[in-house]
Amino acid sequence: MKMTKTILISFLGILIIPIFSIIVLSFQNNTGDILKWYQSIFANKDFTDAFLLSTFVSFLTATFSVLFSFLISLSWFNKRQMFVVLMLILIVGLLPPDIFALSINKVSQLLGFYSSNFFFLIVGLTFYTLPFGVLLFWTRFYFIEQTTIVAAKDIGLQRFYIITKIILPLSKATVTTSFLLSFLLAFNEYPRTYYLSGSNVLLSEFLNGKLNSGADESIYAGGSITIILTAILIIGYFVFHSQRTKNTLLKNAQANA
């Protein structure tokens, strides 16, 4: 157990320390003004436009991803459908992101859209996040007793009401988790953004361009903002989930008292 903990801490350190070192670099400059690069990046209209656009696109992507992930994941309760869905998400999930994005771009051109637009951008990002959402819902459905579904069918409850009255309420936390994960994945995804954003530059594409140029150190502030935002959303979710769990346990204790 001690060996496992040591390996885990070492792995997390190797993974996290280089990422958060960007935050340290974002406060360093020759003038002594620790907020210089943050002032510079926020004064950059291209950055603010890309940030707002990425937030909007990621919100739409997460919304569609959660909806379709939930509907597709209902195949869990039908083993034949589940096998087909599993094969599809493996294909979509394992396909290289640049190849997948490029293929959607070509499909859009075959349909007469020679310049990619938001529709195909969101389609590409939704396909990208879909496998993660389905697997999250399947993980939750694993703990739903099949006898509950069978009993609901035995008393004549229609499939629509089984989904809305039993499965969905039991999956509220998974809906939130799936939305947050899809949002962050879409917000930080670069290959699909590069191929499908068309004439509009999203944040990941903007930051990648700055990084490649190597001339503007405000890139550290821009990168730090995405890291801090990601950390805040994840910590906020865990706080929310922890509080929700405490409230549920308190209600159950009061009901049993």
Report pLDDT digits (tens) over 9-30: 887 778 778 788 888 888 887 7
Give Cα separations from 113 to 39, 153, 239 (angstroms).
Answer: 39, 47, 44
Q: For the chain, give the percent of residues with pLDDT over 90.
A: 23
Residues 171-182: what's their mean pLDDT? 92
- 101 touches 142 (CB < 8 A): no
Q: Write down the pTM of the prediction.
A: 0.85
Contact 210, 222 (CB under 8 A): yes
How far apart are alpha carbons 186 and 37 in whole angstroms?
25
pLDDT in tens, 106-162: 888 788 776 667 788 888 899 999 999 999 999 999 888 888 888 888 888 888 888
On the 0-12 / 13-18 / 19+ scale of CB atoms within 10 A, 40 is middle
Using alpha carbons, list the distances in angstroms from residue 222 to 22, 25, 47.
10, 11, 8
Is the predicted pLDDT of residue 164 greater than 80, yes or no? yes
Structure token pair of residue 51: 């940030």
Work out the burial of residue 92: count CB atoms within 10 Å of its CB; fewer than 13 is exposed, 13-18 middle, 19 or more buried: middle
Domains of the chain: 35-233 (1.10.3720.10)
Confidence of residue 256 (pLDDT cuts 50, 70, 90): confident
**3-state secondary structure (DSSP) of residue 100:** helix
Tokens of 52: 């707002």
Residue 191 CA to residue 170 CA, distance in Å, equals 35
The Cα diameter of the chain in Å comes to: 74
pLDDT digits (tens, 9 = 90+) for 206-255: 888 877 776 677 888 888 888 888 888 888 888 888 887 787 778 777 77
**Packing angle, helices 118-141 and 97-110, rounded to 10:** 130
More confident residue, 180 or 237: 180
3-state class (DSSP) for residue 122? helix
Model confidence at 60, in pLDDT bands (50, 70, 90)?
Answer: very high
User: What b/e readout covers 157-173, taking b as 16+ CB neighbours within 10 angstroms?
Assistant: eeeeebeeebbeeebee
What is the crossing angle of helices 2-25 and 219-256, to 10°? 130
Instruction: Decide: 68 and 126 in contact? Cβ < 8 Å.
Output: yes
What is the C-alpha to C-alpha distance for residues 225 and 3, in angstroms, rounded to an integer?
35
Res 114: pLDDT: 66
Residue 257: what pLDDT? Answer: 66
Look at residue 134 in the predicted model and tell me its pLDDT. Answer: 93
- Is pLDDT at 182 greater than 90 in this prediction? yes
